[in-house]
Amino acid sequence: MLFISLSSMYVFVGISLGIMLATVCRSQQQVLLTSFFINLPMVQTSGAISPIEAMPPFFQVLSLLNPLRHYITIVRGILLKGVGLDVLWIHVLALLGFAVVLLSISVSKFRNQLS
């Protein structure tokens, strides 16, 4: 249940990011091209392909702003290590923060478009 609930939280973060892109960009083609410039660095700095410890210090700090890094840490913790919420709470709070910030930005941009 913990894995399913935290995975649904990450899906919510992804949806919030998509809604934000859709409200910022003017056309569907612009959203698609912009998502390439967002998704590739997110995957590269998430720790899924190469370990975060092998990255330069600048990118290690920058990866803290990556919601995928926190989700990868949660998935590894639950599925591989068998840890619970008592260990992963900081990453859960980070995902929740990303969801709230991205959704609030997209809602305010959408309301400005309607006005």
- What are 45-101's pLDDT values in tens digits? 999 998 999 999 999 999 999 999 999 999 999 999 999 999 999 999 999 999 999
For 17-37, what is the mean pLDDT?
A: 91
- pLDDT grade, residue 114 (50/70/90)? confident
Q: What is the pTM of this model?
A: 0.89
**pLDDT in the model for residue 110:** 86
For 27-42, what is the mean pLDDT?
A: 92
3-state SS track over the chain? CHHHHHHHHHHHHHHHHHHHHHHHCCCHHHHHHHHHHHHHHHHHCCCCCCCHHHCCHHHHHHHHHCHHHHHHHHHHHHHHHCCCHHHHHHHHHHHHHHHHHHHHHHHHHHHHHHC
